Chains A and B, each alone.
Chain A
Amino acid sequence: MSADNAPPEAAGTVPAAPAYRLPEDRWHAAESVFWLIPVLAFFFVPGYLVLGSQILIVGLFAVSLDLILGYAGIVSLGHAAYFGVGAYTAGLLATYGWGEPLSGLAIAAAIAALVGWLASFLVVRGGDLTRLMVTLGIALVLHEAANKAAFITGGVDGLGGMTMWKVLGIFRFDIAGRVAYVYSLVVLFFAFLLLRRLVHSPFGLSLRGVREKRVRMPAIGASVREREIAIFTIAACVAGLAGALLAQTTQFVALDVLGFGRSADLLIILVLGGTGRLYGGLIGAAVYMIAQDILAGINPVYWQFWIGALLVIIVLFARGGILGGLERLRALARRSRA
């Protein structure tokens, strides 16, 4: 390498290689269109707003799982634990006299984050199998606790009888679910904005590093343990937020918010949509819940069989779920054009 070939002052003008830049986080046109869909749904399918708000809430819940599973690569079989903690916190607040929705959300999310932070110290130890067991065990312990503490939580009968105050003191939760839908959509959108910024930050990038190559992260000066604890806590917080939304909009908390079935369904939803993309959780939630609404009405046993078969097929033949498939299609189209 000779000096006149690469003068030092020219180095500054060489454009940085794309690989070293922060990930692109400018809004894509497709994203704006995507967010128009739930807005349009509010006006054009007013009969399905209750299902709609369920989809929005489960979507938020799935996004929270995507943070630890899709970005940091932490496998969890008990993510419902934090959803349930949020749901019960919001539910109990409303039952015992504090029905203000927004502060209820904030408190529920904070409590879920606290529980998640405590749990994370157990979770980050050990390999995948230990993590599966610990996350599952924590969810089971909370499920059992909520079951045994029936005098507070209502046990298997569920927690009902809450009175929600008006949102912002203006909008009362109505029977058609209009306020619940808009409320869920607004909360989901702002939570999503924050998380979208988060995963495109250097911190988010380092999470992908943890997922791809754990052992090399310390070599570039990044503590894996701290990052895992941080993202697990954030994911628990978001899951708690989703749980609180469910409790407030349905004004009921069933014991199954903490159940294994909910954690397993959530995994399916996320994988169906596609992991590591944030939008995968939302799309998965919409597809799964609309299909469930149509098919499970016919026969719940068949539904479970086909969802199992679908899962097997996704794993064997369609890694990446719906969004992964779309991406592959786009790559194919680009190649055939070139």
Chain B
Amino acid sequence: MTHKIVVVYQSLLGIYGDRGNAMVLVKRLVWRGIDAELIMVEPGDPVPDDGLIYLLGGGEDWAQIAAVKALEEDRGLHRGLDAGGVLFAVCAGYQLCGHSFTVGDNDEVFAGLGLLDVETRRGDQRAVGEILTQWTKPDGSMSLITGFENHGGFTKLGSDATPLAKVAVGVGNGSDGFDGALQDQVVAAYPHGPILPRNPELADYLLERALGVQLDRLPRPDVNAEHDQLRAERIRIVRTTKNRAEQTR
């Protein structure tokens, strides 16, 4: 059986290289000898309801609304999650999973998919720059998540959602000192785009959760070494910089 990694609406929610997360998930399965394919779905096409992992990425305000509308009409994502698929949503994708979010110059409130018990409203200033968070995995082990955030909305979690990771440097949810949320089949975070290339443990966690098995370390020492080096570089830079938005590079 070939596992489907489904990029949902790249043209609307993929402006930050978010497809990269899907490439990482597919390759990490294939390199372990597990069949996987990358599926790109655009509005109007049916979202397959047998996806292993679905991905929602970053996008502009009005694209979020178009995406919610198309997903509600299609319902394939909802069926896929009911069937045990996992959704990994970042940035605008995270926001639209909540009950509601604001867009536009006048902060109009729009309903989201309601998959997460969270609400997003415009924050007092835009969060732009490298972000570093500490993530505690379900087995109690800890790991740092490094990424780049760029969002105007701040997100408040309700009682059904659990925060994903504690913010060390950066803004994240903006209200509670945490970044992201977990609830049922949904894992969400603010750092957009290539968060998984920088955090292979998070990538493997998503895969293990969706597959329901424990995965061995990736049998590619060259790639593992590149991941380690990139992580070391980014973590060093975010720790040693004062002006995040201007200098975290």
Q: Do A and B come from one complex?
A: no
